[in-house]
Amino acid sequence: MNEYPPIEAHGLVGDLQTCALVSRDGTVDWCPFPDIESPSVFASILDTERGGHFTVAPETAFEAEQSYVDRTNVLQTTFSTEQGEIRLTDFMVPTKGDIGGDGERAFYRKVEGRDGTVPIEATFRPRFDYGRAETATTARDGTVVASADETDDRVTLSSSLDFEVEDAEATATASLTPADAYWFVARYDPDAEVSDALPDQVLENTVEFWHDWVHTCDIEECIFEGAWHDLAVRSGLALKLLTHEETGSICAAPTTSLPEDVGGVRNWDYRYNWIRDAAFTVQALANLGHTYEAMRYVNWFLERCHAGDPAEIQPLYGLHGETGLTEEELDHLDGYRGSKPVRIGNGAADQRQLDTYGELILAVSETARFADIVSEDDWDALRGIVEYVCDVWDERDAGIWEVRGGPKHFVFSKVMCWVALDRGIAMAEENVFDAPTDRWRDVRDRIKSTVLEEGYDEGNGYFLQAFGDDDTLDATGLLVPVVGFLPVDDERVRNTIDAIQAQLTSEDGLVRRYDGDDGLPGEEGAFLWCSFWLVNALALSGRIREAEDLFTSLSGVVNHVGLLAEEIDPESGAHLGNFPQGFSHIGLINSALYLAHAKDGGESTTKPMGMRLGDGISLGNTE
């Protein structure tokens, strides 16, 4: 291997504990084991020589198409050559359900002939611990065993083809006719019980698992009806793959160090659970009907609330609740298309981000709309968080964007402190919980008056990124009406929406996060989550035609199998950043919800944030 495929040229498969990227050329070029935040076994997307890969593809030139088996996370790649056509089916066995053996961690690949006679080659080249460990590989009687001398890592590959090994790389060749099919089953833990089921039965069971889980509805009555229904369903399936079944936590993305600026240093590890995403994730999952996942997700955060002092709550955690996410640079890897450094861990875990408290309380509040989840003990912890916010809301922090240029008085952080108090008051009163609500109201009012005085630029007519940052516009201003800080028909909200459209938005409706300096060299692309925020703000404003046109344009940037990265290059349309990105898919689902609700005149019983607050919101008309 010596070329890097485009980031968007991938599908995703997973087993609810880890994930793998499979490119359209038949290569597994990213897969950590045993968990999504574990060291990689295949990482050629970060270094084509040292990273390791697992490829099954024609030996001759080909064209490829990739798609999912309908309403599943089973991926199929069809290769067309001059000699004929073959199909590769990829999936991992979900760890939830009785599909494989007890505790089996397996990656299944099936290649079958469809037309003509096509020569193929399979290359199995694991490289453990991000390519840092020495790999020993042997092959015998249809089984390849790869192990790392420095660790206990071991992967076995079973196949009916005979493999030859050279330089710790196993290869096999065959010619496929329509009568031929070969299976490759890679297992991470060879000591686990191996399924007695034939691979075709495991495939059938996996398809059935996804069909049982996926969003189902009467399409004519579904809130997501119309052209965006299938995109919302696919986004729900992607979010499920990012969910860790053992804990209920959800990672922001399954990859590390895919660049926001190709060739630059904006490369981060996103395989962790951010509180920042919580409320919007709950809204997305619940409205797709996945309330079990939404409740487990919030309960995971409630466990963090019980852990101790609110001052020690982190912006992000490991998927098992780990707090020590020390950032490390892997100098031996070249990085995607020379984008260095490659990072593991994330230093933002040590940052102070005051918006985190509002996002946590908001997530609990949103979940309480459909489930009774807050116990007296939970409330004691939540009350402690609101009390802490009363004491620290007027201090500086790193903000939602985790800037590394020093703490500031970020406007969005203040707004979310207001949200923590606002939702805390509502929960206390609705549930008759003990709380100093009079004090909380006083502090809530002080936060609002301070933000309106110091965070809104009267001259330019928009909310600033931070107090004193003249002319620095931030897309988080789009969330002011969504979280209920101001009604959407407030002149300051309307002005901010217009300013973001004029200054941060490309002709295709792609929105940049901000226009200020963040302390890092290089430039990033447009942020998809912010782009979906604009859809929501327009829908809330009654500018439904604009919102619909923008959402249609954004829907056009999904890749060939319906997945989204973190960012889009406005000029080339290339995907940038870690892939697929959870909050991009959360944004797509929620924007479809806002639009559907706005278009039916607010009559739907499914009401997203901002449309249930009654703060002078006018849906307007559809013109």
Per the structure block, which two tokens stand in for 620? 């307007």
Task: Judge if 557 and 518 occupy the same domain.
Answer: yes
What's residue 475's pLDDT? 97
Q: Which residues contact 422 (CB under 8 A, 6 or more apart)?
A: 444, 484
Q: Cα(505)–Cα(515) distance, rounded to whole angstroms?
A: 11
Q: Say if residue 582's pLDDT is above 80.
A: yes
pLDDT one-digit tens code per residue, 426-463:
999 999 999 999 999 999 999 999 999 999 999 999 99
Task: Please compute the mean of the pLDDT values over residues 24-44 and round it to a whole number.
Answer: 96
Task: Judge if 436 and 552 occupy the same domain.
Answer: yes
Q: Say if residue 97's pLDDT is above 70.
A: no
Q: Say if residue 621's pLDDT is above 50.
A: no
CB 377 within 8 A of CB 431: no
- Collapsed DSSP state (helix, strand, coil) of residue 528: helix
Q: Which residue has the tokens 């609101």?
A: 386
Q: Say if residue 366's pLDDT is above 50.
A: yes
In which band, very low, low, confident or very high, does the pLDDT at 623 lie, cut at 50, 70 and 90? very low
What's residue 606's pLDDT? 56
In which band, very low, low, confident or very high, does the pLDDT at 603 lie, cut at 50, 70 and 90? low
Q: Say if residue 422's pLDDT is above 90.
A: yes
Percent of the chain clearing pLDDT 90 (strictly above):
78
pLDDT one-digit tens code per residue, 512-555:
999 877 667 778 889 999 999 999 999 999 999 999 999 999 99
Task: Please compute the mean of the pLDDT values over residues 331-352 and round it to a whole number.
Answer: 96
CATH number for the domain spanning 528: value is: 1.50.10.10
- Collapsed DSSP state (helix, strand, coil) of residue 559: coil
Four-CA torsion 364, 271, 30, 572, nearest 10 degrees: 80
Task: Judge if 72 and 130 occupy the same domain.
Answer: yes
In which band, very low, low, confident or very high, does the pLDDT at 613 lie, cut at 50, 70 and 90? very low
Q: Say if residue 356's pLDDT is above 60.
A: yes
Per the structure block, which two tokens stand in for 554? 């954004």
CATH number for the domain spanning 85: value is: 2.70.98.40
Residue 531 placed within a domain = yes
- Give the HSE-up count for residue 574: Cα atoms under 13 Å, Cβ half-sphere: 14
Task: Judge if 298 and 339 occupy the same domain.
Answer: yes
What's residue 238's pLDDT? 97
Query: Percentages helix, strand, coil for the chain, rounded to the nearest 5?
Result: 30, 20, 45
Q: Say if residue 211's pLDDT is above 90.
A: yes
What's residue 601's pLDDT? 66
> What average pLDDT is seen over the chain?
91
Task: Please compute the mean of the pLDDT values over residues 478-485 and round it to a whole number.
Answer: 96
Structural domain count, the chain: 2
Q: Say if residue 480's pLDDT is above 50.
A: yes
User: Nearest 5°: CA angle at 22, between 286 and 250?
Assistant: 30
Task: Judge if 379 and 257 occupy the same domain.
Answer: yes
Residue 219 placed within a domain = no
pLDDT one-digit tens code per residue, 144-200:
999 997 777 899 999 999 999 999 999 999 999 999 999 999 998 756 666 667 899
pTM, rounded to two decimals: 0.94
Domain span holding position 117: 10-204
Residue 217 placed within a domain = no
Per the structure block, which two tokens stand in for 54? 């697992």
Per the structure block, which two tokens stand in for 404? 């590394």
Task: Please compute the mean of the pLDDT values over residues 298-320 and round it to a whole number.
Answer: 91
State phi, psi for 367 to the nearest 5 degrees. -65, -35
Task: Judge if 453 and 533 occupy the same domain.
Answer: yes
Q: Say if residue 410's pLDDT is above 70.
A: yes
What's residue 620's pLDDT? 29
Nearest one of 42, 6, 27 to 75, comparing CA atoms:
27
